[in-house]
Amino acid sequence: MESQDLQSLWPIRVVLTSKNTGTNPEQVQFVWQNGQYVLVAEPKARMPLGDVAGILLDANTPRLPPEVESGLRALFDTLEAHGSRVTWGGAPQHPDLAWARVQLLATKFEYGSSFHIFLATLKSGSSVQVAERNAFGKDFKTLEQEAAANLASGNWQPVSVSGRPLDPKRDFGRHSLEGSLQEVMEAGGNQAPAYIAKAKNLPPDQALPLLKKAAQLNPLWGEPIFLQAGLSTNPAEKEGLLKKATQLDPRATSYWLELAHVETANGQASAAQGSWLRAENSAPTEAERERIHQARLASEQERLDAAEQERRRERDAVHLADQRAQDSEAARIRAAEKAANQSVDAASGGAQPSNVVPWDSLASRKVRGLLTRVDCLNHGARLSIKTGSKVLDLFLSDTASLKLACGLQTPSRRIAAAYVAQTDDVRHTAGNVTSLELQ
């Protein structure tokens, strides 16, 4: 795995006993107890090296594709040491395609030198197909055919692998133990889990010191860091703790999911998407990966909707601010005009006119259309001018020079007129004609 010193999350303890444990020597296995992995076996029992490989994989790599993890455990289970010579790849207890694939890639001469590239690519989150093409330069189908042929051959020859000399006393701390088997099993171990258990259901101020103590006792364990993040009310601190927890245990799907939610809440959308993807990759089953994938898509849509709503709020706020500024300026101008008018009135000493004609009513307007009717009045005439579907009635004070006949105009004549808008409820007109041109 490109590391010479893989660490186990918990101490690994092998207890050899001269007493018959009642277990098949070929079926001994490690159990997790008291903060340690313990194996109790008779001296001649076969060591489950595949279990050891699984323990080290869990503690040192992100979750790999299931078929690769299964194959690696089976490959390491075939490790044998004869003096200074170490081999692997011989016949396993239960050969299958996963084992045959890994055995082929790790032991065949043309593939073995690139096996570490294959594993490194998988650790980065790539699929088996991509990792095989990247490491060995062959397509997936060709290598799958070779793996199937390797499984069918039944002829698996072990090959030598590099190894370091070990001294049991120096490297494993070999020593004799006295007491009952139960006492031996309960001795030693790591007490960090006990502090986690004590912290449960306690108030945050009482739980936090216990969680920090658990983290000190086992600095490789992500759980106490993750639980500390759950107690934190500071967004930046919570995010930092979650990132540390995912570094310690990249296989913990719940850690990645919580980090994705916190990053989203902190406005870090890109980082959150990365955490969602890592959560997918860390999921132990295909069903769980699909569930997380759908949740990620829903979360991204919610983020996009929230971003759009925020942009709308910002646009509305800017528009409202502009409108308020315009209204304020208009009010200021009107107040200044009123103050100026009052000052002029006071200086002139005269009374303010009661019937003031608005200035905009004196502005000349124009209309073009058909003159459809002329109603002669005592003084002047009312002209009916049709423009589109509307009829505009205007007052003309001087009709003598135009020689217009009163009544319905047949045929209607085209007319262009200028007028000042001024409603007259007596004459029933909307303005007074200032000039006109008949065509």
Q: What is the pLDDT of residues 135-154, one digit of tens each?
A: 999 999 999 999 999 999 98
pTM of the model: 0.62
Question: Is residue 130 predicted with pLDDT exceeding 60?
Answer: yes
Question: Is residue 28 predicted with pLDDT exceeding 70?
Answer: yes
Question: Looking at residue 2, what is its pLDDT?
Answer: 54
- pLDDT (tens digit, 9 = 90+) per residue, 359-402? 555 567 899 999 999 898 888 899 999 998 899 999 998 877 67
Question: What SS3 state is found at 22?
Answer: coil
Amino acid identity of residue 55, one-letter, is I
Structure tokens at 371: 């003159």
Question: Is residue 100 predicted with pLDDT exceeding 90?
Answer: yes
| Strand 407-424 relative to strand 429-438, pairing | antiparallel
Percentage of the chain beyond pLDDT 90 is 45
- Please state the domain count of the chain: 3
Q: Is 56 contained in some domain?
A: yes
Contact 439, 427 (CB under 8 A): no
Domain boundary among 245, 273, 296: 296
Q: Is 414 contained in some domain?
A: yes
Q: CA dist 255 to 193, 249, 302, 325, Å?
A: 18, 8, 21, 49
Q: Is 274 contained in some domain?
A: yes
Domain that holds residue 54: 12-165
Cis preceding linkage at 224, omega within 30: no
Which of 244, 240, 199, 200 is closest to 222 using CA atoms?
244
**Are residues 49 and 161 both part of a single domain?**
yes
Grade residue 107 by pLDDT with cuts at 50, 70 and 90: very high
Backbone angles phi and psi of 359, in degrees to 5? -60, -40
Sign of CA dihedral 174, 175, 180, 184: negative
Q: Mean pLDDT over residues 109-123, rounded? A: 92
Amino acid identity of residue 263, one-letter, is E
Grade residue 71 by pLDDT with cuts at 50, 70 and 90: very high
Q: Is 176 contained in some domain?
A: no
Percentage of the chain beyond pLDDT 70 is 87
- pLDDT (tens digit, 9 = 90+) per residue, 308-351? 887 888 888 888 888 888 888 888 888 888 888 888 777 776 56
Contact 185, 34 (CB under 8 A): yes
Question: Is residue 176 predicted with pLDDT exceeding 70?
Answer: no
Q: Is 180 contained in some domain?
A: no
Dist. CA 58–CA 11, nearest whole Å? 14
Q: Is 203 contained in some domain?
A: yes
Q: Is 108 contained in some domain?
A: yes
CA 295 from centroid of its chain's CA atoms:
10
**Are residues 160 and 210 both part of a single domain?**
no
Q: Is 174 contained in some domain?
A: no
Grade residue 183 by pLDDT with cuts at 50, 70 and 90: low
Helices (H), 162-285: 168-172, 181-186, 192-199, 204-217, 223-231, 235-248, 253-265, 269-282
**Are residues 122 and 74 both part of a single domain?**
yes
Higher pLDDT pick, 169 / 38 = 38
